[in-house]
Amino acid sequence: MLLTASLTGCQLLSTDPARREEPSRRSGGERGGQGKEAPMLAEQVRKGTLPPLEERLPDEPVVVKPVERIGVYGGQWTSGILGPSDGAWLGRTVGYENLMRWDPDFTTVIPNVAREITVHDGGRSYVVQLRPGMRWSDGEPFTADDLVFAYNDVLLNTDLFPVPPSLYLVAGEPGDIEKLDDHSVRFTFPRPNSLFIQSQATPYANHIVIMPQHYLRQFHQKYNPDADKLAKQEGHETWVELFLAKTDLWMNKDLPRLHAWIPRRVFGEGDRLIFERNPYYFKVDTEGNQLPYIDRLVYRVIADPQVMVLAASNGEIDMQDRTINTLQNKPVLARGRERGGYRFFDEIPSDSNACVIALNLNHPDPVKREIFQNKDFRIGLSHAIDREEIIDAVYQRQGEPYQVAPRDSSPYYDEEMAKQYTEYDPDLANEYLDRAGYVERDGDGFRLGPDGKRITFSIEVPTAFRAEWPDTAQLVATHWRRVGIDAHVKNEDRSLFDQRTDGGQHDAAVWQAEGGGWIEPLMRTDWYFPSANESTNYAPTWMRWYQTRGKEGEEPPPPVRRQMELYDQVRQTMDEEQRDALLRELLRIAKDFFFHIGTILMPPSYGIVKNNFHNVPKQVPQSFLYPTPAPTNPEQYFISDS
């Protein structure tokens, strides 16, 4: 059904030109007169410092239907951000402008930067049509040359991208790009790339549309032989370092972009990040008013999550879910609704697990590696966890015992996979740990490993990310010590945590697992086999072997190699039934291998929104692939007391 919908849609993936009739006048805000633009931009047009609106919009702007009603211009959206490690919040509010995007209901992909994408030659070729007249935020034209530059000179440049993004690879081989005219390109792959269109709506796909060639060529060695010299002048060792710095969306204010708001103050320039409207933004509402409605976005840098919650309860945050929306915080935020002048909106989860304990199966210490790769050891640890205690003590009695598996609402749901080894049974846990071969204990009752030493390791937890994780990890460590495993919790700053997991230096990592929804098992496979991104939590060198086609990393065991073969076939199979059958076999192997230990099913979540902040849906999908709340179109949010 997904493929049919997507490929049928891709023949029709175009957007009607914006209607040019004048909107009726409404009280409660300004529209900028006959120009259908924000007053602050209309003033610049009058002064001659900005071209007229018709010269700034593409020939066919994207038309965005407001959630509730046509909005008014003006105002400031304030939210909180932990710091540079929390840049995902910027991507979820400002940075989601891909070739395609998810519709607000998270049911299909729709046109965005691309006017349409059509499929040819049985999925081996895709033609991307851009929008004539579309411009970067500095007013320069956005054309096919930008896509060709981004693809050939950046994504396929091994100095900049050692491994190209997987959506452009088929069985490890990258596709080619060809400029057809100023506003269209053709991607051609050696084999069918069945998920290409859907992938263009995910957060993985932004690279192709954030590389303005007119600005970035000066920093690229191919176009500037003195790029290394320029790099040293700007404090970098090589042109590669300089180029990567210049492409940093959240640190380089000079980088032209396509987003609704552009940065005026970035990290390192005070305790607030400031973004202001992009005068060349390519979207309008259903009455032809250029978006966004809101003039300015302010991100208060608040390193302490509890201080952020206090700010929210005091009414100092206009709309936010990230960081503050823990179950523990909800009673506090509920009590502050009247004082803070805000309400809740619901988030529908697609994550499979709220807190996964991922043993590092590729640990550099051969003893720990042997222990962690012992499936009976992992099963024993799973049965030793009292998940009901975790649910009651940490998750406000919400959730249910669950492994990393698709949710029961997913077409890929497998009850056995979801529930295996979740029964709290210390006797059974001890039986499995004995079966694993770790029967001998020291004088304190802790089990001895194959080297005759106590089995001891750290559960590493990124602090200031999910408030439930440190408490969950402490309970898990307590449960494991009861069965003779000397586990300890090690809280870490997010940047250190990322450094250790990316480098495969950790013992065990705590994270949440995606992959629970309708499309996530197909496109977010990180937790089902070592394939990408979060696979570093449990099998970083196996993941690297897959990504580099054996050039780097470590060859995994046969069942994992079979998964890798299956997923290559999944991505090359255009027939949906055949693709689903392949994916189900991959998931069956994941169930049998039992890579990691889940705790509870991710419960429903929430966000807060001020009462004068409009056009936010009452229910919002929550997913990494759907970078909440971006597909709800923040550009059509508006602020008004009426």
Query: Which tokens hold the place of 558?
Result: 């046969």
Name the architecture of domain 353-598.
Answer: Roll (3.10)
Whether residue 19 is predicted with pLDDT greater than 90 in this model: the reply is: no
Taking the alpha carbons of 5, 7, 8, 10 in that order, is the dihedral positive or negative? positive
What pLDDT score does 30 carry? 54
Instruction: Give dist(CA 396, CA 468) in Å, integer.
Output: 10
Beta bridge pairs of residue 301 = 81
What pLDDT score does 642 carry? 85
642 exposed, middle or buried (CB, 10 Å; 0-12, 13-18, 19+)?
exposed
Identify whether 165 is preceded by a cis peptide bond (ω within 30 of 0): no
More confident residue, 311 or 26: 311
Query: Which tokens hold the place of 296?
Result: 């300015």
Radius of gyration (Cα) for the chain, nearest Å?
Answer: 25
How many CA atoms lie less than 13 Å away from 497 in the CB half-sphere?
A: 21
Instruction: Give dist(CA 312, CA 340) in Å, integer.
Output: 7
Whether residue 456 is predicted with pLDDT greater than 80 in this model: the reply is: yes
What pLDDT score does 6 carry? 32
CB within 8 Å of 245: residues ≥ 6 apart = 234, 236, 251, 252
Instruction: Give dist(CA 166, CA 420) in Å, integer.
Output: 31
Query: Which tokens hold the place of 295?
Result: 């003039």
Instruction: Give dist(CA 240, CA 234) in Å, integer.
Output: 12
Query: How confident is residue 464, by pLDDT bands cut at 50, 70 and 90?
Result: confident
3-state secondary structure of 418: helix
Whether residue 174 is predicted with pLDDT greater than 90 in this model: the reply is: yes
CB 441 within 8 A of CB 339: no
Q: What is the pLDDT of residues 331-389, one digit of tens each?
A: 999 999 999 999 999 999 999 999 999 999 999 999 999 999 999 999 999 999 999 99
Over the range 518-546, which residues count as b (16 or more CB within 10 Å of their CB) and which as e? bbbbbbbbbbbbbbbbbbbbbbbbbbbbb
Q: Which CATH number fits the domain 2-20+31-60+97-240, given the four candidates 3.30.300.130, 3.40.50.170, 2.60.200.20, 3.90.76.10?
A: 3.90.76.10
Distances (CA, A) of 325 to 17, 55, 306, 434, 630: 39, 42, 11, 41, 17
In eight-state DSSP terms, residue 615 is -
In eight-state DSSP terms, residue 257 is -
Q: What is the pLDDT of residues 405-419, one digit of tens each?
A: 999 999 999 999 999
Backbone angles phi, psi at 315, to 5 degrees: 80, 20
Query: How confident is residue 14, by pLDDT bands cut at 50, 70 and 90?
Result: very low
CB 543 within 8 A of CB 530: yes
CB within 8 Å of 284: residues ≥ 6 apart = 18, 36, 57, 61, 62, 63, 64, 290, 291
Instruction: Give dist(CA 317, CA 613) in Å, integer.
Output: 11
Mean pLDDT (the chain) is: 94
Whole-number percent of the chain with pLDDT over 90: 93
Whether residue 8 is predicted with pLDDT greater than 80 in this model: the reply is: no
180, containing H or E segment: strand 176-181
349, containing H or E segment: strand 342-349
pTM reported for the whole predicted model: 0.90
Residue 61's nearest CA partner among 392, 337, 290, 359 is 290
Q: What is the pLDDT of residues 280-320, one digit of tens each?
A: 999 999 999 999 999 999 999 999 999 999 999 999 999 99
Distance from chain centroid for Cα 606 = 18
573 exposed, middle or buried (CB, 10 Å; 0-12, 13-18, 19+)?
buried
Domain ranges of the chain: 2-20+31-60+97-240, 353-598
CB within 8 Å of 389: residues ≥ 6 apart = 475
CB 527 within 8 A of CB 515: yes
Whether residue 176 is predicted with pLDDT greater than 80 in this model: the reply is: yes
